[in-house]
């Protein structure tokens, strides 16, 4: 598909009026996969909205740890709403054209919320590290005010980084194809369509991967090495298990978030990954954690389980 008929040109850059989002191609019954993703999206929205309402309404959950859980739920809710409703409109209702400006807006919000997700997991790892390694100083170091400022800084930083990513996309000229080999306005498939120098965009893609995938995972692993070292100094197995149980939810969420994305990234680097395989793997890697995170925190967190029991008893 050629974009020459729909070009609008400014002083130095050529931008198409529309992009065409290709999505899955050559796969029979692919609409059923999009319906499956919509079901995951629906569960994710209900689950994360419930967690947000529960934390906001219950004063006993107004603590540093749950400020982190609340921000993770907000990021999950934002990421799923940035990706999946647009996907449903695009592929279930055969509306695969997206305007240039809408594409850039979609890219901004997707990367903004993805960055917030992974940095929220880093802050929750910091919370667990201080709680277990410095228990006597925990309430002095990790306060509601400190956590609120950390998350304000994260949201502001991610807004700047996502804006920078989109800004340099806007400095490209698209004079060949306007077909995006993805299911949303993904950064890599978009900048590879450019017909002028896109080396800065290639650098930003690698930088974002290092910043929002590799570095957070390294920090989390180091924090848990410190936690395991502190646990080894506890004399009883009962004490170790009790302390480790407070990390169970976070460890599960970290595994769900990082492992699929790391695997996809390594496979893409070491072998050929077809467009369809990349779309399926990345869409699941974004959708499934956002659906399971609220379930994990509800089922594995004693405070939330106790609160739910009280609510159910009142209801009965």
pLDDT in tens, 35-89: 999 999 999 999 999 899 988 888 888 899 999 999 999 999 999 999 998 888 8
SS3 11: coil
pLDDT over 70 percentage in the chain: 95
Which of 25-39, 132-146, 266-280, 292-306 is the most confident on average? 132-146
- pLDDT at 308 > cutoff 80: no
Count CA atoms within 13 Å of residue 234 on its CB side.
17
Q: Is residue 29 part of a domain?
A: yes
Q: Is residue 231 part of a domain?
A: yes
Return d(Cα 247, Cα 189) in angstroms, integer.
37
Pairing of strands 97-99, 18-21: antiparallel
Cα 60–64–70 angle (5° rounding)?
Answer: 80
Q: Are 176 and 19 in contact (CB under 8 A)?
A: no
269 forms beta bridges with none
Cα 76–261–55 angle (5° rounding)?
Answer: 20
Domain extent at residue 62: 18-315
pLDDT in tens, 199-216: 999 999 999 999 999 999
DSSP-derived letter for residue 210 is: I
DSSP string, 126-182: HHHHHHHHSGGGHHHHS-HHHHHHHHHHHHHHHHHHHHHHHHHHTT----SB-EESS
Q: Is residue 140 part of a domain?
A: yes
User: For all residues of the chain together, what is the average pLDDT?
Assistant: 89
The number of domains in the chain is: 1
Q: Is 235 buried (19+), middle (13-18) or exposed (0-12) by CB count in 10 A?
A: exposed
Return d(Cα 193, Cα 98) in angstroms, integer.
15
**What pLDDT was estimated at residue 316?**
55
Q: Is residue 6 part of a domain?
A: no
**What pLDDT was estimated at residue 315?**
60
**What pLDDT was estimated at residue 153?**
97
Return d(Cα 72, Cα 54) in angstroms, integer.
14
Closest to 301 in 3D by CA, of 129, 4, 65: 65
Q: Is residue 138 part of a domain?
A: yes
97 forms beta bridges with 20
CATH, residue 182:
1.20.1070.10
Q: Is residue 3 part of a domain?
A: no
- pLDDT at 313 > cutoff 80: no
From residue 124, give the alpha-carbon distance in Å to each of 70, 71, 250.
Answer: 11, 10, 7
Return d(Cα 97, Cα 19) in angstroms, integer.
6
């Amino acid at each position: 598909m050629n974009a020459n008929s729909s070009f609008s040109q400014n002083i130095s850059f050529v931008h198409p009026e529309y992009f065409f989002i290709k999505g899955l191609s050559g796969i029979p019954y692919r609409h059923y996969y999009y319906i499956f993703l919509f079901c995951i999206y629906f569960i994710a929205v209900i689950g994360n909205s419930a967690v947000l309402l529960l934390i906001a309404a219950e004063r006993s959950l107004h603590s540093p740890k749950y400020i982190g859980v609340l921000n993770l739920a907000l990021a999950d809710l934002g990421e799923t709403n940035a990706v999946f409703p647009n996907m449903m409109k695009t592929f279930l209702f055969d509306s695969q054209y997206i305007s240039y400006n809408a594409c850039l807006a979609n890219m901004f919000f997707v990367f903004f919320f993805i960055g917030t997700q992974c940095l929220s997991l880093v802050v929750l790892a910091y919370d667990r590290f201080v709680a277990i390694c410095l228990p006597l100083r925990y309430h002095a170091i990790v306060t509601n005010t400190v956590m609120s400022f950390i998350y304000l800084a994260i949201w502001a930083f991610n807004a700047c980084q996502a804006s920078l990513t989109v800004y340099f996309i806007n400095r490209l000229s698209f004079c060949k194809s306007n077909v995006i080999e993805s299911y949303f306005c993904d950064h890599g498939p978009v900048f590879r369509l450019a017909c002028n120098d896109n080396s800065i965009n290639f650098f930003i893609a690698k930088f974002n991967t290092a910043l929002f995938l590799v570095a957070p995972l390294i920090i989390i692993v180091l924090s848990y090495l410190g936690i395991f070292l502190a646990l080894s100094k506890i004399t009883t197995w009962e004490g170790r298990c009790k302390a480790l149980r407070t990390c169970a939810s976070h460890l599960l969420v970290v595994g769900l978030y990082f492992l699929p994305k790391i695997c996809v990234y390594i496979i893409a680097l070491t072998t050929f990954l077809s467009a369809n395989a990349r779309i399926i793997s990345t869409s699941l890697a974004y959708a499934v954690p956002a659906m399971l995170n609220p379930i994990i925190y509800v089922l594995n967190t004693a405070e939330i389980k106790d609160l739910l029991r009280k609510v159910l008893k009142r209801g009965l």
